[in-house]
Amino acid sequence: MVAAAAAAALLTALPLQAGFRVTPYLQNPAPGALTLSWLSDDPGAGQASLQALDGGPAIRVSSSPVEAGALEYHPAETLLVGRGEERASSPPFLHEVRLEGLAPGTRYRYEVEQGAETARGRLVTPPLDAREPVRFVVFGDSETEPESAGSFVLWPDPEDPHEDPDTGRRYLVDEETGYRENLRLIREREPHFVAIAGDLVESGGEQRDWDAYWRLTAPLAADTFLLPALGNHDYYGGPAIFGFYAPQASARALAKYRTYFDLPGNGTGAHAERYYALRWGPVTLVVLDLNNGLPQHGPSDTNFYMLGEGEGGSAPDWQPGSPQYRWLEETLRAAQQKNGFTFVVAHHCPYSSGVHGVPPGRGEGLDPLSGLPLRALSPLFLQYGVDALFTGHDEMYERSVVPGQERLPDGATREHVLQVYDVGVAGDGLRGPVEGAVNPYRAFLAHADSPERWENGVLLDGGKHYGHLEVNVEPVGETGWRAQLDMVYLFPLMDADGAVHGFERRLYDDRVVLQAGPAAGDH
């Protein structure tokens, strides 16, 4: 009790910072609209102005800040003060400004004044039907927390893949450095948006983990739209006193997520901001919440710890007949009839050689967070011609190719393959395969297919590293499209002593090229 009282006194003694608690970030893009959000320490309104780079009148808006009670610290977090973490004593104020009437496919710059501070950024609005290239990035599993600084994850050696926490090999840089450098490389490439395959934070219910998230992610989000999917950690209240996946704990975690993000509507009330879709040029992006499958502890359960739907913050069901499934089928049917590509983003990976690639259950050889139940969705994805499913959760780089049949709108069928990716290597684990995980469709696994080449204690090439998927979509001919998917990794450059002194952007030898549109004889 004495320690708690001292911690509380320390908290209240911290001065409020003038200006931003989180600098402005871009969200919810539509052809003529977007949301600009930021957080401040004090309740004063901020001023946003936006102007097209090629001129035209500036749009000026004042924010209407609301106190973000969901971003309050859990009482247990006060006990963690004293580790050098700074935090304010009261919840911040959320400024969420919806800007409308913008020109599609147009470059803008913006400026936000809050208190004594000014922040600036730039963006491109989504196009309508312009035949312009699109670039986006996908990764998962940033799992930020203050403890990521100085934490070096196990890095299973393909030659000797034991993962003993005491003696196992550790990665060359810490988790926070991996994530920060990953974002820096992404920002240099100026993608239009970044899709996130869940597990943004370590504990969704710990505010300190969200503080770490925005400290690292806000610089990228100033210029790039973030399009997140919920992962199990985003529903996780936190360990022990934080309540694990208890209904109130998950509800607290989800409330933080939904406070930070403004996401496209899906026509439901109860499931708002959990699954959604949007169109960017020739790309339809469908984002799902596959964190729960009913009944609890049944063969479709993707989280044995989370209670049934409707209890606290539990995730919505995804099986046939559920509202999410019906929405998904309608969304995929509409996407199939448009020229271009359909990509789906979710957290759990149905085809994996990793820890979550074993059957659902408790006990030896089973996993309470298994991705295998989601294989039940593959026929639907194939039927509507989904091009790729992007996931994380297993924290490896793995790609699988799932064959099947697409049914065309005129009733004819044809052979189709679904590319399935685990790109959960943003900045947390760098795992290897496990015994018992059987993935019949595996096409590439960084652990196995990118052999490390060492010389005198210096890594020259290969290996599994932090990274992200970059997708470049370009017009072909009059009406066709081509999508190129490249897995990028941050190769750590080592000096002769084995110390890492920088990173180089490299690609795994695993490029995928997709064609769409009448010119390609597709769709």
Region of 55-63, 198-206, 330-338, 379-387 interacting with Fe ion (CB under 5 A): 198-206
Q: Which is nearer to Fe ion, 81 or 288 (CB)?
A: 288
Residue number with CB closer to Fe ion (156 or 231): 231
Nearest to 385 by CA among 448, 425, 329: 329
From 29-37, 194-202, 413-421, 513-521, span contacting Fe ion (CB under 5 A): 194-202
The Cα 307–Cα 297 span in angstroms is 9
Cα-flanking dihedrals φ and ψ of residue 25, to 5°? Answer: -140, 155
Per-residue x/- marks for Fe ion, 243-272, CB under 5 A? ------------------------------
Q: Which is nearer to Fe ion, 155 or 236 (CB)?
A: 236
Instruction: In angstroms, give the least distance from the CB of 369 to Fe ion.
Output: 7
Decide: helix, strand or coil at residue 465: coil
What element of type H or E holds 376? none
| Shortest Å distance, C-beta 393 to Fe ion | 4
The answer to whether 387 touches 342, Cβ cutoff 8 Å, is: yes
443-458 residues labelled b (16+ CB within 10 A) or e (exposed): bbbbbbbbeeeeeeee
Instruction: Check binding of 231 to Fe ion (CB under 5 A).
Output: yes
Min dist CB 521 to Fe ion, Å, is: 38
One-letter amino acid of 216: L
| Binder among 393, 416, 442, 447 for Fe ion (CB under 5 A) | 393
Q: Cβ(52)–Cβ(107) under 8 Å?
A: yes
428 interacts with Fe ion by CB under 5 A: no
* CB 356, min distance to Fe ion, A: 7
**Nearest residue to Fe ion, by Cβ distance, number only:** 393
Number of residues that bind Fe ion (CB under 5 A): 4
Min separation Cβ 33 and Fe ion, Å: 32
Between 142 and 232, whose beta carbon lies closer to Fe ion? Answer: 232
301 sits near Fe ion (criterion: CB under 5 A): no
Residue 199 in the binding site for Fe ion (CB under 5 A): yes
Read off the tokens for 483. Answer: 């999508």
Distance from C-alpha of 238 to C-alpha of 236, rounded to nearest angstrom? 5
Q: Confirm if 493 and 458 have CB atoms less than 8 A apart.
A: no
Nearer to Fe ion, 342 or 353 (CB): 353
Considering all CA atoms of the chain, what is the largest pairwise distance in Å, rounded to the nearest integer? Answer: 73
Q: Which secondary structure element, helix H or strand E, spans residue 284, and what is its range?
A: strand 283-287
Bridge partners of 442? 400
Beta carbon nearer to Fe ion, 201 or 473: 201
Query: Least CB distance from residue 236 to Fe ion, whole Å?
Result: 9
Smallest distance, Fe ion to C-beta of residue 412, A: 38
3-state secondary structure 171-237: CCCCHHHHHHHHHHHHHHHCCCEEEECCCCECCCCCHHHHHHHHHHHHHHHCCCEEEECCCHHHHCC
Report which residue type is found at 174. Answer: D
Select from 39-47, 93-101, 390-398, 481-489 the region that touches Fe ion (CB under 5 A).
390-398
234 binds Fe ion (CB under 5 A): no
> Minimum CB separation from Fe ion for residue 276, in Å?
20
The smaller minimum CB distance to Fe ion, of residues 232 and 292, is found at 232
Provide the minimum distance between the beta carbon of 25 and Fe ion in the complex, in angstroms, as a whole number. 23
Which one, 29 or 238, has the nearer CB to Fe ion? 238
For Fe ion, which stretch binds (CB under 5 A), given 65-73, 112-120, 183-191, 225-233? Answer: 225-233
What are the C-alpha distances in Å from 250 to residues 68, 253, 463? 17, 5, 36
Angle between helices 247-260 and 207-221 (to 10 degrees): 20
Considering beta carbons, is residue 202 or 522 the nearer one to Fe ion? Answer: 202
For 198, the token pair is 């869940």
Span interacting with Fe ion, options 27-35, 88-96, 223-231, 337-345, rule CB under 5 A: 223-231
- Which range in 195-203, 217-225, 261-269, 274-282 contacts Fe ion by CB under 5 A? 195-203
Reference 231, options 453, 1, 447, 423; nearest CA is 423
Q: Least Å distance between CB 201 and Fe ion? A: 11
Which of the ranges 85-93, 169-177, 299-307, 388-396 carries the binding residues for Fe ion, by CB under 5 A? 388-396
- Residue closer to Fe ion (CB basis): 137 or 197: 197
Residue 394 or 470: the one with the smaller Cβ distance to Fe ion is: 394
User: Angle of helix 175-189 relative to helix 207-221, nearest 10 degrees?
Assistant: 30
232 is a contact residue toward Fe ion (CB under 5 A): yes
154: phi then psi, degrees, rounded to nearest 5: -60, 140
Closest separation in Å from C-beta 66 to Fe ion: 31
Could you give the CA distance from residue 415 to residue 400 in angstroms, rounded to a whole number?
16
* Residue the block writes with tokens 């609301």: 66
User: Is the CB of 210 or the CB of 280 nearer to Fe ion?
Assistant: 210
Smallest distance, Fe ion to C-beta of residue 231, A:
5
Would strands 413-423 and 388-391 be described as parallel, antiparallel, or unpaired? parallel
Residues within the interface to Fe ion (CB under 5 A): 199, 231-232, 393
